[in-house]
A and B are shown apart, each in its own frame.
Chain A
Amino acid sequence: FRCFSSALTPDLKNALDKVVTSNKVVLFMKGTKDFPQCGFSNTVVQILNSLNVPFETINILDNEMLRLGLKEYSNWPTFPQLYIEGEFFGGCDITVEAFENGQLQELLEKAMCS
């Protein structure tokens, strides 16, 4: 199966716009928050859990078009992908680094209080 056209259809783009703006924190990941299916996704789930922040997770393994479309939407090639207040924040490394230097807590606090 080869796909030469864009996976990010206008419908998918609209749906993603809605998901990332109607939730303050959204994590697109492999698996679910209760059952992460990859170590990198698990790391970000654990960080968000430890910060006690409410977040939505979306399992990209459920839907191949979603998985492909998201890579274009975020301009980011791998998962997990974390969105905060409608904006792409980063993947696992960036989230870990921001957690360790306190920037993630700061940003989430701001997001929760806005």
Chain B
Amino acid sequence: KEEMGVTKEQVESSLTSKLKPSHLEVIDTSGGWCGASFAIEIVSEQFEGKRLLERHRIVNGALEEEMKQIHALSIKKALTPEQWKQQQESKKI
């Protein structure tokens, strides 16, 4: 059946192999009502020099197979390592 199948682990493994993230967090937000959904925070060098829309397209592309079964993908953060470092440091202050 169509709704079966995509797990958090699958999403993580596709993103890890395709985007080589230095930080990755995948949260399963399915919770029932609309279907499989995930929230993602990802840090990758591949986002360097790319606008937000392009970064999201890269993430969507990496999950092309999974997207057929995912209802919603919420990309909370798609940062370069440099941006991530700055964010982490500003949190400490």
> Which A residues have a C-beta under 8 Å from some C-beta of B?
38-40, 75-78, 88-94, 97
Contacts and interface: CB of A to CB of B under 8 A. Distances in A.
Given A38-B72, A76-B57, 5 more contacts: A39-B34, A78-B72, A89-B53, A92-B74, A93-B56
Interface in B22-76: 33-34, 52-53, 56-57, 60, 64, 67, 70-76
A78 B73 contact: yes
Interface majority SS (helix, strand, loop, mixed), chain A: mixed
B27 to A, nearest CB: 14
B34 A93 contact: no
B60 A77 contact: yes
Interface of B: 33-34, 52-53, 56-57, 60, 64, 67, 70-76
A76 B75 contact: no
Contacts of A93: 56, 74-76
A75 B56 contact: no
B53 A94 contact: yes
Contacts of B72: 38, 40, 78, 92
Nearest to A88: B53
Nearest to A37: B34
Nearest to B56: A94
